[in-house]
Amino acid sequence: MRDNALLKGLNKSEDNDDEEFVMVNSVSLCAISLSVFLKKKHVLNLSDIKNDTIATGIADVMANKGGVSISFKLSGKRMLFINCHQEAH
């Protein structure tokens, strides 16, 4: 639901030059989330989409700490996006 709202906001923006955005992928781990969007004109150059999550909280299973990632190839170049929440000390 959050991703749909983000996508709707992107596509209504006055700064987007009338080019539509699409969602590449979205991944969540508890309160850690990551969404990647791309202009629709680039979709044909998109391949090998992957995502992953890793929980590193208590006993390395609790999802209160950890990270999420989305990777893909765009025109043959590997792109990687990471979001994480780790211990402060």
Q: Strand (E) positions, the chain?
A: 21-29, 32-39, 46-55, 66-74, 77-85
Position 46 scores a pLDDT of 96
Residue 59: is its pLDDT beyond 90?
A: no
Per-residue pLDDT band at 2 (split at 50, 70, 90): confident
Give the count of alpha carbons within 13 A of 5, CB side only: 2
Q: What pTM was estimated for this model as a whole?
A: 0.82
Distance, in Å, from the CA atom of 79 to the CA atom of 59, rounded to the nearest integer, reads: 30
For the residues 11-40, what does the mean pLDDT come to?
85
The ranges assigned to domains in the chain are: 2-85
Q: List pLDDT tens digits, range 68-88.
A: 999 999 999 999 999 999 877
